[in-house]
Structure 1
Amino acid sequence: MKTGESTQLQRVIGYFHGTIFLFSIIIGAGIFIAPKGVLKYTSLNVGVSLIIWAACAIVSMIAALSYAELGTTFPISGAQFYFLKRSLGSIIAFFYLWISLFSTPAGLAARGLLLAGYILQPFFPGCFVPEMPKKCLALAILWCLGILNARGVKEVAWFQTITTLVKMAVLCFISVTGIVLLIRGRKENVARFENAFDAEVPDALQIAEAFLQGLYAYSGWGVLVQIAGELKNPSENINKCVVTALTLVAVIYLLVNISYIAVLTPKEIMSSDAVAVTWMNRVIPSMQWVISIGVSSSIFSSLNCTLFSSSRLLYVASQEHQLPFIFSTLNIHSCPVVAVILRLIFASIMIIPSDLILLINYVGFINWLELGLMMIGLLKLRYQEPNLHRPYRVRLPLVFGTMAMSFFLVLTPTIKSPTMSHIYAFLFIFSGLLFYLPFGHFNLNCTYFNKITCFLQLLLNVSPADDINDYISEEGR
């Protein structure tokens, strides 16, 4: 850093790149390879499945607009952690951090292996890709993205733009092809929609499971709150980007699913592990490579966006003294490079024994529980601090609707069909107390920590960031 320069994250992401970030993290591999989840839990009822996809878009929009108040009130990166600590206390914020420390690297590892498998599959026709080259390539991909992140937010933003445009082109191709097939009016294409509601109607538990499947495809809409400290004018851009991105994503998802159903029967979709590949085999077999490019670019951009945004959580947790000081330092490109490295180390460890990646299944349902807690914190903070400056105030019906939906999605499967994964998830969460009590509550310190911090600062050329309270009161408001 130059002498006298402000040491903080730089606000360089505007409306366009903010929308791109949302596209890149929401549209992942799911829409290409796993839309059968919604069909499965709607008893192969085509009409209900399409309604679920549309309803998931509405629920995601409501939740995202409710969540946006966090980023506009506290315009810092990692705002959700700072908000939880301020509204519900340190221990709830630490549990949120504790889950993220392991679930996020598990997701990075899983998607890294999936991407490596797609890239290497053409070199191993007719057989499975060997584990060793797949794991080595996944490690190389993750660490290359780490180097890109270390170069700063501008480079990350342009990388996201390129990869997002590629996968959007592939999705538009699938959508337009499906529309053309329906307009041409071929009997086998239209018949599935004429009798869309003839199949069995799912019950409440199945609907909850179908919602979880659909909402997974929309997940990531909170990324702008995670990177609010790098957004220009977050009080306006967060809401504008959310409305723009989720509206377009909803339209694309509906058109893509209609295209799938126009070409494939529900049973064919259920029997396919890669629906988009099966769809392309039926429509234009010679262009399978188009789907491979679409899936690869989707996973690439989603991986990069997750790594970028999740490192900001460690950054703000360090500023709030719930992680070592070194994680709140920045390099010359204003990147919390130590936080990025920690994410990559954890993800690399989880790649080696790939069965550990099942951890993501144990903690996945907690995301909606966390959202419900954040809505409770939002209401509590409005009562405790009514005069707090809030550039954007979400309407209370949206807050209560988000709370109701989150608890419905969490409690319905847990009560009606409890599994060992729910028990493992709660045991994992409460095991965080073993670390919170000595280091978070009693603030135990060790002289070796100071020596390691000095060594890493010199090695990585990083400097302490400005105080978080000074940053909140800046132009982001």
Structure 2
Amino acid sequence: MDKRNKTQLRRAIGYFHGVTFILSTIIGAGIFIAPKGVLKYSSLHVGITLSIWVVCAVVSMITALTYAEVGTTFPQSGAQYYFLKRSLGSPFVFFCLSASLFEIPAGMAARSLLLAEYVIQPFYPGCSTPTLPKKCLALAILWSLGILGVQGVNKITWFQTISAVMKITVLCIIALNGAVLLVIRKENLIRLGDAFSSDLPNISQIPEAFFQGFYAYSGWQSMVSIAGEIKNPAKNIPRCIFTALSLVTILYLLVNISYLTVLTPEEIIDSDAVAMTWADRVIPSYQWIISIGVSSSILSGLLSTIFSSSRLYYCASQEGQMPLLFSMLNTHSSPALAVIQTIIFASVMIFSSDLIRLINLLGILGSIQLGLIIIGLIKLRYQEPNLPRPFKVHLLFALGTFIVFSLLVLIPVIHSPKMYHICVLFFILSGFLLYLLFVHLKFRFGWFNEVTCYLQLLLNISPPDGPEEYISKEITLPKSVLKFQQKHDED
């Protein structure tokens, strides 16, 4: 069979598209939600707020380079999933998988609601937007992106390139206007200086402020999730991560300074759409430009999440921890059912609206998964020292990151426990319970084979024709999947 006509994930993303993909994923809802949350948990102290943004940038860079080692060592789609299974074993990786089944759709639901808020807000000047139209629009956005998400990598990359240009343009407009206003209006500089004298936050609030900041920088994980579709992954994964995060750090600091130059901390806290409030104060006649730019920013971030998360479920299916349907590809070489499942879960979670508390919950779950990745990385260094590693992060950086995120999780739990900490414990216990039932005991529903056949015909999907390029079958596919593929090829 001609290699170009094979049904498999293709390596179509180079350095330029890799950078734009990460930018599209990171610069989404975070920079328009997190400033409010960071200020809130910093007790409106501007100095603490800006320091947290800087520290979050540094820690995110080190953490992303730690993930880069995972992606370059195992350059396949869903690399972190396979890495955890190889280093720590099936129970721990299944916990991460079960947590992601909530974490990823919940984040998508939050961003969809924010996007709907920015789209509808210009039609309701001076008042809050009604809830029902906002949620209906958020659902329509999700399903439209789901349709685009099953069209394959080529159509998604050009869309992400255009949206990356638009969102960077909007952030540059906000940053440059803020810098000019800070220089030409002395009262803005005085007010900004006065905000440094606010009360210091409680120690239990600092971790929650960091979770808000990390949420704005999150998204670099997508480069590891789609490692199987990146050209020359050993070289491009670390380069793309370093370039994108450096650009994002500069933009985020300038944008936050611009927000604080034009708006008081109290005004930022009271605003549901900070960028629109800023635009209404600075360039009211061009408010629609900011609205379009912000909307495209969040839209492309959602699409990146759909794209990368579906590859995680694709890998989990190949490793036997999700039904084989999730690793079947359509004619566009896209795991269509994995995309649809993510959209359905996110649609259900649209009806939750406490974004700041939701971000804290996602931050704790993400920190636990990151801790497992670092433990697995250290364990594998000693367990398989001769394993080829094109890119290696210094273990001191990995250990430092592990300590930081451990403190961020433990300090608020010990000092001021809240209800969502109990939710995290529930997810941990339910993850191991599901593993025991469906993976260890191999419980199966008798009617599922029939459903598999019907869904294959309905979605026009089939198993991939072979392992991903550059990856041997011994590494990527367990024996159960290989047998299934051999049977498919014979049929």
2:123 is the alignment partner of 1:86: no
Instruction: Quote the Cα distance in structure 1 between the aligned partners of 2:310 and 2:469.
Output: 21
TM superposition score normalised by structure 2: 0.90
CA distance in 2, matches of 1:256, 1:4: 44
Which residue pairs with 2:227 in the alignment?
228
Q: Give the drift of 1:467.
A: 5.5
1:318 counterpart residue number = 317
**Whole-angstrom distance in 1 between the partners of 2:144 and 2:90:** 34
- For structure 1, the residue ranges without an aligned partner over 5 or more in a row are none
Report the counterpart of residue 443 of structure 1 in structure 2. Answer: 442
Secondary structure at the counterpart of residue 443 of structure 2: coil
For residues 95-128 of structure 1, what are the alpha-carbon distances to aligned partners after superposition, in whole Å with 9 as ceiling and x for unaligned? 1111111221222223223322332334445554
Change in CA separation of 1:3 and 1:409 when aligned onto 2, cut-off 3 Å: closer
Matching residue of 1:144: 144
Question: Cα RMSD (Å) of the superposition?
Answer: 2.5
Which residue in the other structure is 2:32 paired with? Answer: 32
Q: For 2:8 and 2:467, locate their aligned partners in 1 and report how far apart those are by CA, in whole Å.
A: 9
1:291-329 Cα deviation digits (max 9, x unpaired) = 211221121011111111111111000000001111111
Native 8 Å contact 2:150 2:336 kept in 1 = yes
- 1:246-289: per-residue Cα shift (whole Å, max 9, x none)? 11111011111111222223333333333222222222222221
Residues 34-64 of structure 1: CA distance to partner in whole angstroms, max 9, x if unpaired?
Answer: 4132223333322232122111111110110
Give the direction of change, closer, same or farther, for the CA distance of 1:46–1:441 in structure 2 (3 Å limit).
same
User: Residue 430 in 1 paired to residue 433 in 2?
Assistant: no
3-state SS of 2:197 partner = coil
Counterpart contact for 1:368–1:407, Cα < 8 Å: yes
Deviations 1:407-432 (A, max 9, x none): 01111111111111101221122112
> Contact 1:350–1:356 at 8 Å: present in 2 too?
no
1:381 equivalent to 2:380? Answer yes
TM-score (norm 1): 0.93
Equivalenced residue count is 474
Indicate how the Cα distance of structure 1 residues 387 and 3 shifts in structure 2: closer, same or farther if over 3 A, else same.
Answer: closer
In the alignment, which residue of structure 1 is the partner of 2:153?
A: 153
CA contact (8 A) 2:34 2:213 kept: no
For 1:212-264, what per-residue CA distance to the aligned partner results, in whole angstroms no more than 9, with x for missing partners? 22111111121100110111111111111111111111101111111122222
Query: Residues 247 and 469 (structure 1 numbering): CA distance in 2 closer, same or farther, change over 3 Å?
Result: closer
Q: Is residue 13–residue 231 contact of structure 1 (8 Å, CA) maintained in 2?
A: yes
% identical equivalent positions: 61
Q: Does 1:97 align with 2:97?
A: yes
Paired position in structure 2 for 1:266? 265
CA 50–109 in structure 1, closer or farther in 2 if over 3 Å, else same: closer
In structure 1, the residue matched to 2:66 is: 66
Using a 3 Å threshold, how does the CA distance of structure 1 residues 43 and 70 change in structure 2: closer, same or farther?
Answer: same
Q: Which runs of 5+ in 2 are unaligned?
A: 477-491
| Residue 111 to residue 33, structure 1, CA distance change in 2 (3 Å) | closer
Q: 3-state DSSP class of the match of 1:95?
A: helix
**Which amino acid is the alignment partner of residue 312 of structure 1?**
R
After superposition, where does 1:174-193 map in structure 2 within 5 Å? 174-184=174-184, 186-193=185-192
Deviating more after overlay: 289-298 vs 239-248:
289-298
Alpha-carbon separation, structure 2, partners of 1:280 and 1:356: 24
Q: Name the stretch that deviates more: 438-447 or 371-380.
A: 438-447
Q: Distance in 2 between matches of 1:2 and 1:438?
A: 41
Q: Which moved more, 1:99-108 or 1:203-212?
A: 203-212
For 2:22, the equivalent position in structure 1 comes to 22
CA distance in 2, matches of 1:360, 1:40: 13
1:340 aligns with 339
CA distance in 1, matches of 2:227, 2:295: 27
1:171 alignment partner in structure 2: 171
User: Aligned with 2:168: secondary structure?
Assistant: helix
Q: Using the TM superposition, give the Cα deviation of residue 27 of structure 1 relative to its aligned residue in structure 2, in angstroms.
A: 1.1
